[in-house]
Amino acid sequence: MGFYTGRTGSLVFGGKKVAKIRDWSIETSLELLSTNTIDSSFNTFEPGVVGATGSATLMYYMLEAGESATLTQFTALLNKIMKTATTGVTIGDRIALELNVGDGNTDDIKFNAYITSASVSVSTGELSVVPITFTVDGAFTEVIS
C-alpha cells in the first residue's frame, strides 16, 4: 500500500488500540546551539537537545461487553493526569505509547511519555471528545523506517 489515510492510523496503550480516536499528531524539535564567535559573519550551529510533544483526540466512548479484550478505553489515559487521590501525578504515571500510521511494523512511533493536559469537551449535536496532549520522556524507542 503506497498511501495511508486516517482510517489506518491508531493509538496503542497497554498493548491494545485505544477505542475510537479521532486524530493524533506528534512534533519533534531540535534545539540548536550557537557556535558563533566574536568575529563570525554568519550564524553557525551545533545540534543540541531533541524533544517531542504531541496530541490526540479521543472519543468519549465506553467499551461494550467483550471489547475490553482487544481495546483500551479512553479513561486509561485520562486517569494518568485527572486524579482524585491526594498524591497527584507520579513517575508511575509515565506511559508507553505507540502511534501507528498504517498496519505495518515499520509504520510505528513508540515512546514513553507523560500526559500533560486533558479535557472533556461536550457540545450540543456533536460527539463528546477528550483531547489530550503529551510530552515524550527520553528518546523514541521505535520510529518509522
C-alpha 37/C-alpha 136 separation (Å) is 33
Residue 6 banded pLDDT, cuts 50, 70, 90: low
Residue with cell 471489547: 67
Domain boundaries defined on the chain = 6-136
Could you tell me the three cell numbers for 97? 505509547
Tell me if 97 sits within 8 A of 11, measured CB to CB. Answer: yes
Task: Give strand pairing partners of 55.
Answer: 25, 133
User: What pTM, to 2 d.p., does this model score?
Assistant: 0.89
pLDDT tens profile 18-66: 999 999 999 999 999 999 999 999 999 999 999 999 999 999 999 998 8
C-alpha 142/C-alpha 145 separation (Å) is 9
Q: Which CATH class is domain 6-136?
A: few secondary structures
Arithmetic mean of pLDDT, 137-142: 97
Cβ neighbours around 76 below 10 Å, total: 15
Cα-trace Rg, the chain: 19
